[in-house]
Amino acid sequence: MSLLARLAPHLPYMRRYARALTGSQSTGDQYVRVALEALAAGEKQLDSRLSPRVALYHVFHAIWCTSGARLEDRTPTEGHEASQRLMRIAPRSRQAFLLTALEGFTPSEAAQILDTDFPDVERLISQAQTEIDAELATDVLIIEDEPVIAADIEALVRELGHTVVDIAATRTEAVEAVARKAPGLVLADIQLADGSSGIDAVKDILGHYDIPVIFITAFPERLLTGERPEPTFLITKPFQPETVKAAIGQALFFHPGRTAKAA
């Protein structure tokens, strides 16, 4: 099996991770591109002792550690405020948090990727979570047509200290909800109750408001195409509660124009 065939299933998710890590689609994709070029040229090799996915992320982090600052200088982050937020969390804490909470690696796998041990990963995750939580509190719109799933998401959102301002089951309801009160975050499904699209609902909303968006969907391939600007935050159903919590924290943390919850 060719190198590309072995890595292809993991590349969309590593691109998602790289964008979340850097807060920029262009910068994140550049890191992924450099890592793949290093593998193709034989400058880096996949560790045969690791699973292909873990080995791929391990190579990515080797590139990050040796060239991170220089790459970011060449590709400015998309928003000065987002860049400042990134700098508030130490890079390794941010990496450990994203690898486990967003990408679903176990702490042991994250330790292999980061060339460290389990206790260190646990410490890094705790540090990142503390710093991220201190930044957050906002109004949230949920776009989801399944009542049980919507209730689960609402409970997670409230547990994090946010306010759910509305739950919309269709594109029209979502647009009307935002017209009544602009939220600081949107959590959106793709397929909605009346056959309308959550993607179209988000496009309508973003045409008027600068709001971070997280897609929660059973059809991630509809968004991870590489043919258009893609969402930085994308969660596949069925989801893990910790994954949703992590994505909410990262979306609010990185978005330059996020709106804090009214006092």
Same domain, 167 and 203: yes
Cβ distance 75 to 24 under 8 Å?
A: yes
121 or 80, greater pLDDT: 121
User: pLDDT grade, residue 69 (50/70/90)?
Assistant: very low
| Boundary of a domain, candidates 106, 133, 160 | 133
Arithmetic mean of pLDDT, 204-227: 82
At 187, which helix (H) or strand (E)?
A: strand 185-188
Compute the distance between CA of residue 90 and CA of residue 168 in angstroms, rounded to an integer: 37
259 or 113, greater pLDDT: 113
pLDDT digits (tens, 9 = 90+) for 106-124: 999 999 999 999 999 999 9
209 or 83, greater pLDDT: 209
Same domain, 246 and 152: yes
User: pLDDT grade, residue 252 (50/70/90)?
Assistant: confident
| 260 within a domain of the structure (yes/no) | no
Same domain, 31 and 125: yes
Compute the distance between CA of residue 174 and CA of residue 213 in angstroms, rounded to an integer: 13
pLDDT of residue 1: 60
Q: Which of 23, 81, 71 is nearest to 233 (CA)?
A: 23
What's the total number of domains in the chain? Answer: 2
| 261 within a domain of the structure (yes/no) | no
At 234, which helix (H) or strand (E)?
A: strand 234-236
Domain residues for 230? Answer: 139-254
79 or 29, greater pLDDT: 29
Same domain, 180 and 250: yes
CATH code for position 186: 3.40.50.2300
Residue 161 has pLDDT above 50, yes or no: yes
| Boundary of a domain, candidates 76, 102, 133 | 133
Compute the distance between CA of residue 71 and CA of residue 246 in angstroms, rounded to an integer: 26
Residue 213 has pLDDT above 90, yes or no: yes
Residue 10 has pLDDT above 80, yes or no: yes
